[in-house]
Amino acid sequence: MAAPETKRKFVLASRASQLAQVQTNIVRDALAKLHPDTTFETSFMATGGDKNQSQALYLLGGKALWTQELEVAMAGGTVDLLVHSLKDVPTVLPEGCEIAGVIERESPLDCLIVKQGAPWKRLEDLPDGSVVGTSSVRRIAQLKRHFPKLVFKDCRGNLNTRMAKLDAPDGPFAAIILAKAGMVRLGWGARITCDIGPPTALHAVSQGALGIEIRSNDEQARALCRSITHWQTEWSCFAERACLRVLEGGCSVPVGVYTTLTEETTEGGARRAKLHITGSVTSLGGETHVQHSIEAHVDSVQEAEAIGAKLAKVLIETGAREILDNISKDREARIQQAKETNEKVDA
């Protein structure tokens, strides 16, 4: 007599930060609500990006810092679904991995948080010479154009760490800039003094969205992910990721986007939407800025991706290639300088 089939348990994994755990629990709860007879567990681990808190992200290389250890665990079968802030996921995944689900997006905008007790509300209110912290070269590049009298400095760490750095009485920061979605998910929205969005700054690709990565051969996991996917968010984010994939070459670059997707009524109920996507590339010092928009009707996520890739090509043709080449040279020079400095210290 054959043994009864054991019902499969699914393990969701993510980084160990408080925000990553909250986000993983959001996905777990959404799955459990739709699939009450299935068991979902969670697992958390530190990644390379969590362990290296001293160097600027710009110099550390690609976004795989946040995902590589998790993907190794998934490939080994110890976990089944990876929950990511989609903005932190490389646009090219390892062979055998895929983003199978995207849940509804929180606000994609950046936001300003000022030091506890300070009177300022906006970047415009800060005194000349004020130090503003962020870990993003995109934010720095765009905001230098509008606020040349402010000083933008690298501020690494998870949200708890960065908030502590901001509020330290002897700390250098008058304010920091973060993704609004993370502040909202942690219940810290009251600390936000204003949103930062177009035309001041375009947000990061896929900011505010949570993506679920699976093994490409795991049909059961894919079906679970599709059951909670918000297709409007998926189409928007995949268009943005396609744009970045053409532009970036695997490195952290100052690319900003802003996307709207309006669902349209069709005969027979087929999905169709009007996609409006704006993209920008800005030099590190903010001196050069290229921006363009495309609007198109799309009937699938693949068509949305094609529009994103088309936008990237337009940006490249209108000046982005020169900006990106200069950024690559700057990064290589800084990495070499850091190596030489370390060699002198070791000697």
Q: Which helix (H) or strand (E) holds 110?
A: strand 110-114
Mean pLDDT of the chain: 90
Confidence of residue 334 (pLDDT cuts 50, 70, 90): confident
The reported pLDDT for the residue numbered 4 is: 46
Helices (H), 125-248: 137-146, 159-167, 180-185, 219-228, 231-248
The mean pLDDT of 305-326, rounded to a whole number, is 96
Sequence-ordered list of residues with C-beta below 8 angstroms from that of 216, at least 6 positions apart, any chain: 96, 97, 98
The mean pLDDT of 148-159, rounded to a whole number, is 92
Q: Is the pLDDT of residue 341 over 70?
A: no
Would you tell me how many other CB atoms lie within 10 Å of the CB of residue 329? 10
Q: What percentage of the chain reaches a pLDDT higher than 70? A: 88
The reported pLDDT for the residue numbered 281 is: 96
Identity of the amino acid at 226: R
Instruction: Kindly state the DSSP code that residue 20 receives in the 8-state scheme.
Output: H
Q: Token pair of 182, please?
A: 């993370």
The mean pLDDT of 111-134, rounded to a whole number, is 97
The reported pLDDT for the residue numbered 47 is: 66
Q: Is the pLDDT of residue 61 over 60?
A: no
Sequence-ordered list of residues with C-beta below 8 angstroms from that of 84, at least 6 positions apart, any chain: 14, 66, 67, 210, 211, 212, 213
The mean pLDDT of 36-60, rounded to a whole number, is 69
Residue 119, preceding peptide bond in cis (omega within 30° of 0): no
Q: Is the pLDDT of residue 58 over 50?
A: no
Q: Is the pLDDT of residue 54 over 50?
A: no
Higher pLDDT, 198 or 69: 198
Give the catalytic positions in this structure.
88
In the chain the domains, ranked by start, together with CATH numbers, are 8-103+209-229 (3.40.190.10), 110-196 (3.40.190.10), 230-346 (3.30.160.40)
pTM, two decimal places: 0.89
